[in-house]
Structure 1
Amino acid sequence: MDSLTQFALGAAVSTVCLGKTLGPRKAALLGGALGTIPDLDVFLPFDNPVDAFVLHRGWTHSLFVHAVAAPVIGELLVRTIKALKDHRWMVWLTVFLCFSTHALIDGITVYGTRLFWPFFEDPVGVGSLFIIDPLYTLPIVGVVIWALARSQWSLRLRNGLAAVLLFTTAYMGLSVVLQSHIENRAQAIFAKAGIEADRVFAIAGPLNTVVWKVIGMEDDRYHNLYLSLLDDESEPRIYTHPRHPELVAGLGDNDAFQKLEWFSRGYYRAELEGEQIVVSDLRMGLTPSYVFRFAIAEQRGDTVTSIPPVPLSNRTGTIGQDLDWLADRLVGQPTVRQAEADALPNCGTIVLTC
């Protein structure tokens, strides 16, 4: 999740645990700082941009590392802050909860979080919440502002914190249920269109859990399907794009490609831009504006040569169109996404290809 959410969640958790001991304001500030610590891995040195991409949310987000680090940092706090000296176990628990809740809500987004490192290397990325979701974040921010404004603990504040944390946790759980519903609906739509997708993955749309992007994967192509919880009975449009597996067929020994294929869980496409072979993670961003795109090789004639990975800009000038499109989809209005359909013939079917 975004940095504001992580600070606010850490502050809320710490205030629940230590607000009566430290006072709401100090507990919130302490928890906000603790809730930010796992993301300090962005300052770690990486060998190249692909490593920075796939290794972020790595060992600093591991629940096992948190269990080891919590007594160390907790003991430092106990010995440094006089008011905490008789509350050792609660302080240790607070540190662990501030770290682990950070990692867990990161894991509910699509990016991927290595929650179980080093025993399980693969990142967990559920994808049922967008990285910024106001319905999740704003209630926590509101109750944290309340805590920061108070120097004295109160039963009313405790109840407010508990209610907000229960609500946001329930909302997170609901998002997983909605994701499963959307995936089941998408599979039926693909089957009706004669598409045999090997895998189907629903991802929460920008800033909400009403509109969902669904990716249906095949070997040589992928399908985008945008579904709203408020859709009527009209047939949804399916946007089909090539994956160009032939471009990366000879890159089995390319370290950058291997890492991108692993991290994306196979949800990637390759493109030839000039002489550069570019790989995009299909899970983050909307076609063609993918957030993470890397040039990893060059093709000259029949010769393919690996190059040091280069991150590429994803700016396409479609933001205004997409905002209008998203507004329509949020109310269930069937609308063509122009960024994927401008150059396509009006073929009169629900499957659009390019």
Structure 2
Amino acid sequence: MDSLTQFTLGAAISAACLGSKMGPRKAVLVGGLIATLPDLDVLIPFETRIDQFVYHRGWSHSFFIHIIATPVIGELLVRCFKSLRNHRKRVWATVFLCLTTHALLDSMNAYGARVFWPFHPDPVGTGSIFIIDPVFTVPLLAAVAWAIASSKWSDGLKKVLAVTLTFSFGYLIWGLAVQHHIHARGKAVFAKKGIDVNNVQTVVTPFNTLLWRVIGQADGQYHNLYVSLFDNDEDAVVYTHSYDASLVSCVEDDPEYQKMIWFSDGFVRTDLIDGRIVASDYRLGLSPTYIFRFAIAEYENGVSRKIPPEPIVPSIENAGTEFGWLGSRMSGQPMIRVSEQELLEGQDATNAEGC
């Protein structure tokens, strides 16, 4: 999730657990800072931009590392704040919750987190909440603002924090339940339309949990299906994207490409763009605005040359149109996604012959 959400969630948990002992303002600051610690792995000097992409949310997000870190941070707090010295167990529990809820929240994005490292080194990601979701964040932000404005602990603040945290974690469960429901509906639509897919993944669309993108993976292509909780599936539109699978032979031995395959569970497409082979994780973002897209090789006349991975910044030129489409589809109104339809209509096959 975004840094503001992570700070706010930790702050709310800390205020609820320690606010009566050290005061709500101090508790907010302590919890917010602890919840930010796992993301300090961005300061690690990774070798390539793809390393920075796939290894962020690594060991620092592991529940097992949090178990080790909890007594260290907890004892530091106990020694720094006199008001906490008789509440060691409560302090340790708060530290553990601030750390693990950060990792848990990240593991519910499509990006995922390596929460079981080192015993299970792969990232875990459900894709059931977007990296920015105001329905999740705003209530927490309001509760934390209340805590900051309160000079003393009160029963009113206690109730606000309890209700807000209950709502927030209920919202996460809601997202998982809706995702399971939409996933089944998406697979049924593919089957009814006679579309054969090898793998299906369902991820939420930006800023909500009402509209979902069901991705059906096939050889050399994938199918996008956008399903709202309020849709009539008889009106379902499938957008079929083809890509130049022959280019894979040019990069399949490249460690950078293999890292993307590992990280994305194989949901990577290759394209020849302006003489460069571009690899895209097509789970993240709305086609063709992929969030993680890298040029990894130069290509000419059947010959490729590896280059340092270069990220390609997503375009936002159609943001107004996209938000209009998103709002309509969230409410279940049938509507063609114009930017994606135009992309498919103007799509030219690449003349690359592989390597």
TM-score by length of 1: 0.95
What value does the CA root-mean-square deviation take over the aligned residues?
Answer: 1.7
Q: For residue 259 of structure 1, what is the aligned residue in structure 2?
A: 259
Q: For residue 226 of structure 2, what is the aligned residue in structure 1?
A: 226
Distance between the aligned counterparts of 1:301 and 1:226, measured in 2? Answer: 38
Distance between the aligned counterparts of 2:302 and 2:344, measured in 1? Answer: 30
Aligned length: 349
Q: For residue 24 of structure 2, what is the aligned residue in structure 1?
A: 24
Deviations, residues 202-225 of structure 1 (Å, cap 9, x unaligned): 111110011111111001100011
CA spacing shift, 1:353–1:101, aligned 2, 3 Å? farther
AA aligned opposite 1:321:
T
Deviations, residues 209-257 of structure 1 (Å, cap 9, x unaligned): 1111111100110001111111135421100111322111243321100
Distance between the aligned counterparts of 1:331 and 1:14, measured in 2? Answer: 36
Q: 2:187 matched to 1:191?
A: no
2:138 match: secondary structure: helix
CA spacing shift, 1:69–1:343, aligned 2, 3 Å? closer
Q: 2:310 matched to 1:310?
A: yes
Q: Give yes or no for contact 1:288–1:316 (8 Å, CA) kept in 2.
A: no
Q: 2:277 matched to 1:277?
A: yes
Distance between the aligned counterparts of 1:313 and 1:76, measured in 2? Answer: 41
Deviations, residues 287-319 of structure 1 (Å, cap 9, x unaligned): 111111101112221222222111112215221
Q: For residue 103 of structure 1, what is the aligned residue in structure 2?
A: 103
AA aligned opposite 2:313:
S
Of residues 275-284 and 241-250 in structure 1, the stretch that sits farther from structure 2 once superposed is: 241-250
Q: For residue 323 of structure 2, what is the aligned residue in structure 1?
A: 323
Q: CA deviation at 1:79?
A: 1.2
Distance between the aligned counterparts of 1:200 and 1:252, measured in 2? Answer: 23
Q: For residue 9 of structure 2, what is the aligned residue in structure 1?
A: 9
Q: CA deviation at 1:155?
A: 2.1
Q: For residue 125 of structure 2, what is the aligned residue in structure 1?
A: 125
Q: For residue 147 of structure 2, what is the aligned residue in structure 1?
A: 147
CA spacing shift, 1:61–1:343, aligned 2, 3 Å? closer
- State the 4+ residue runs in structure 1 displaced beyond 6 angstroms: none
Q: Give yes or no for contact 1:240–1:353 (8 Å, CA) kept in 2.
A: no
Q: CA deviation at 1:343?
A: 5.4
Q: Give yes or no for contact 1:243–1:268 (8 Å, CA) kept in 2.
A: no
Q: Give yes or no for contact 2:50–2:256 (8 Å, CA) kept in 1.
A: yes
AA aligned opposite 1:296:
I
AA aligned opposite 2:120:
F
Distance between the aligned counterparts of 2:245 and 2:74, measured in 1? Answer: 50
AA aligned opposite 2:300:
R
Distance between the aligned counterparts of 1:206 and 1:252, measured in 2? Answer: 31
AA aligned opposite 2:264:
S
Q: 2:74 matched to 1:74?
A: yes
Distance between the aligned counterparts of 1:81 and 1:315, measured in 2? Answer: 48
Distance between the aligned counterparts of 1:343 and 1:31, measured in 2? Answer: 46
1:167 match: secondary structure: helix
CA spacing shift, 1:111–1:339, aligned 2, 3 Å? same
Q: Give yes or no for contact 2:245–2:270 (8 Å, CA) kept in 1.
A: yes
Q: Give yes or no for contact 1:222–1:241 (8 Å, CA) kept in 2.
A: yes
Of residues 284-293 and 234-243 in structure 1, the stretch that sits farther from structure 2 once superposed is: 234-243
AA aligned opposite 1:208:
N
Q: Give yes or no for contact 1:241–1:353 (8 Å, CA) kept in 2.
A: no
Distance between the aligned counterparts of 1:68 and 1:57, measured in 2? Answer: 17
Of all paired residues, the percent bearing the same amino acid is 49
CA spacing shift, 1:233–1:104, aligned 2, 3 Å? closer
Distance between the aligned counterparts of 2:189 and 2:113, measured in 1? Answer: 30
Q: For residue 339 of structure 1, what is the aligned residue in structure 2?
A: 339
Q: CA deviation at 1:323?
A: 1.0
Q: 2:63 matched to 1:63?
A: yes
Distance between the aligned counterparts of 1:172 and 1:241, measured in 2? Answer: 31
2:249 match: secondary structure: coil
AA aligned opposite 1:12:
A
TM-score by length of 2: 0.94
Gaps of 5+ in 2: 350-355
Of residues 111-120 and 295-304 in structure 1, the stretch that sits farther from structure 2 once superposed is: 295-304
Q: Give yes or no for contact 2:222–2:240 (8 Å, CA) kept in 1.
A: yes
Q: For residue 52 of structure 2, what is the aligned residue in structure 1?
A: 52
Q: For residue 348 of structure 1, what is the aligned residue in structure 2?
A: none
Q: For residue 245 of structure 1, what is the aligned residue in structure 2?
A: 245
Distance between the aligned counterparts of 2:68 and 2:243, measured in 1? Answer: 43
Of residues 1-10 and 151-160 in structure 1, the stretch that sits farther from structure 2 once superposed is: 151-160
Q: For residue 288 of structure 2, what is the aligned residue in structure 1?
A: 288
Distance between the aligned counterparts of 1:138 and 1:314, measured in 2? Answer: 26
